[in-house]
Every structure is written in structure tokens, then in C-alpha cells.
Homo-oligomer: A and B are copies of this chain.
Amino acid sequence: ALATPAIAQESPKLQWRITSSFPKSLDTIYGGAETVAKYVTEATDGQFEIQVFAAGEIVPGLQAADAVRDGTVEMAHTTSYYYVGQDDAYALGTTVPFGLNARQMNAWYYYGGGNDLMNEFFATKGLYGLPSGNTGAQMGGWYRNEINTLNDLKGLKLRIAGLAGRIMERLGAVPQQLAGGDIYPALEKGVIDGAEFVGPYDDEKLGFVKVAPFYYYPGWWEGGPTVHTFVNLDQWNELPDNFKGVLTAACQAANCDMLASYDYKNPAAIRRLVNEGAKLRSFSQDVMQAAYDAAKEIYADISSSNEAFKKIYDSQIEFKRDAYLYAQLSEYTYDTFMMIQQRNGAI
């Protein structure tokens, strides 16, 4: 008994597994789990070791949170909106169409009560959630033909999921569910007319530019999606305080890190894609406004029957009003001026 170090009793050696919803090939978003695991393992000198598994190695990517809830694995690195089929409130943990942007999501999560609100909800699903990444505003997808008017959306077969799919449906499009690897052949054969994925760096890997060259922005359904680490709630509650502290710091660091990674890699990727033939187009204000109005109707519908959704959504909206008022001052005018310099070749 004398030989057992007191500190080892307080902090037993743990070996946990984190199952990612993403394949290794998407190194930036998959890398978020690696960042969490590396920081925790290093910081504890291996006393709290986390091993990362790609989507499909233990469970399929879209079942990562379920596997954590059921105790198959201790942790998942995933996006909560993947589970919107179980409860619409899951969507708000990641993003909803026309939601908060990346910086606003962090402000809301860490200072606006967002983490408490989401964890109140996640607890009802046996989960504890920690924001662990963000992709920034995503692109609006690849299309075989231009979308000039609302009419061009009628009957359009789009690979798009979740709430964005429901909005597209209201605008007359026909949402399709396809796994990442099935998108390219469907686009090539014209089985679908367009597909949204993530942004330049990730999209480039799937080669859409060759078969659907019109690359639209913004991805109004993903203005700043948060990626989560989920921990089985019981196991989180039993974790020693210092390991809770390590994991909390590691996830917040990973949150910062993933956005930095996308922000560094996307600019170079968009240059390459344009060189390969991508034709950049912005969604028209008409299309955006119709989508926005449809989104608000859908949120009102859901809020009327889902109390958790309403509570979280109202909190995000309250902050969003002030956040987008303030952003019009220094942030927006600074960036605008710098963009003018960029266009003038004066950077």
C-alpha cells in the first residue's frame, strides 16, 4: 500500500476512445479529435489517454453520439445537428440556416449561456457536450447549372440535409440524402443537379469542380457550425475534477485550432479550384430572402411544439440581434476596407 502514489489514486489512469463522425481524409475536421486527444494525453503525461477512431472503425459516422449515449465508446467528435432526426433541438448546437457566425457561436457558448442551455438539453439524451471546432461559414455548394432566380430552384435535385433541406423543399427544390462518396457519380450522371458539402479545402478532395462547376456562396445554412465533443454523461460526472479541467481546456483549444486550420487552408484551396475551372457565383438576394423567410416560418413551427428548441433558439436570436448590430461597426468596415485594398492589388 505504501508504494501506491497518492496522486495516482486521485487520478486513476484512464484509456478512453473517441469516435469521429468524419473520415481521416477530411484531415481538418477529423483533426479536431486528434487535437483534443493529443492535448489531453500530453497534459496528463498519458494518465488520461484518448485514442481516436475514424468514422466506421467502431460505429458509422452518423451514429457517433448514439454510441456515446449507449456506452459503446466514452466520447464522440461529431456535430449535434446530425441527430436532428431524433430531436430538432440538436440542430441548434451546431448551427441552423441563418444562424450565428463562428465568432458569435463562441460568444454565445462561452459567455451567453449557450453551453449551459445546450447541456441542459444534451443531458436529456445522456450526453455532455463541449464545443471543439468550427468550420467557419461554409460554401453554398456545387451546381451543374447557374441558379439565377427562385424559379431555377423548382424541381432542382439537391444533395442537402436537415433544416436546410426542409427550406429548399419549401422553395421548390427536391432534397436528396447521399453519403459523401456517392455525390460525385450522382452529379456526373445528372441524377442530382447540385450538392453542398463543406468549403473549398474539403470540397476539393471530392473533385466536384469537374462535374458541377458553378460554386455558390454563401452557404446560408451553415454560417458558423460548431463541432462538438460528446462525453457519456455518467462517465463525465464520474471524471476526476482535474481530468474534467484538462478535457475542457483541450476542447476549447481545439475549437480555436480547427477554425484557424480552415481559415488557413481554404484561401489557398479556392485559388486552386478557380484554376481548375470553378465558377464562383453568389446566391441572389431574392433566393436568400425567400430562404430566410422560409427559415423563420420553420423555426416558429418547431418552437410551437418543442420547448427545448424554443428556449435555445430564443437565446441565440436575442444575442444575434445585438451581435449583428455591433459587427457593422469596426469588424465590418475594417474588413471591407481591406477587401477593397485586396481588389486593388494594394495588399
Contacts and interface: CB of A to CB of B under 8 A. Distances in A.
Nearest to A136: B331
A255 B256 CA distance: 8
A256 B7 contact: no
B330 A218 contact: yes
A256 B256 CA distance: 5
Interface string A311-341: 0000001011111111111111111111101
A260 B107 contact: yes
A294 interface: no
Number of copies of this chain that the complex holds: 2
A26 interface: no
A347 B47 CA distance: 47
Contact of A334 (B11, B112, B137, B330): B137
A309 interface: no
B5 A45 contact: no
Interface of A: 2-8, 10-11, 39, 42-45, 47, 98, 101-104, 106-112, 136-140, 199-200, 217-220, 223, 240-242, 244-246, 248-250, 252-253, 255-257, 259-261, 263-268, 270-271, 280, 282-283, 285, 288, 292, 296, 317, 319-339, 341-342, 346-347
27 contacts: A39-B245, A43-B44, A45-B241, A98-B341, A101-B331, A101-B338, A103-B260, A107-B260, A107-B264, A110-B257, A110-B261, A111-B263, A111-B265, A139-B330, A218-B334, A219-B334, A249-B249, A252-B252, A253-B253, A255-B256, A267-B319, A267-B325, A270-B325, A292-B341, A321-B347, A327-B335, A332-B336
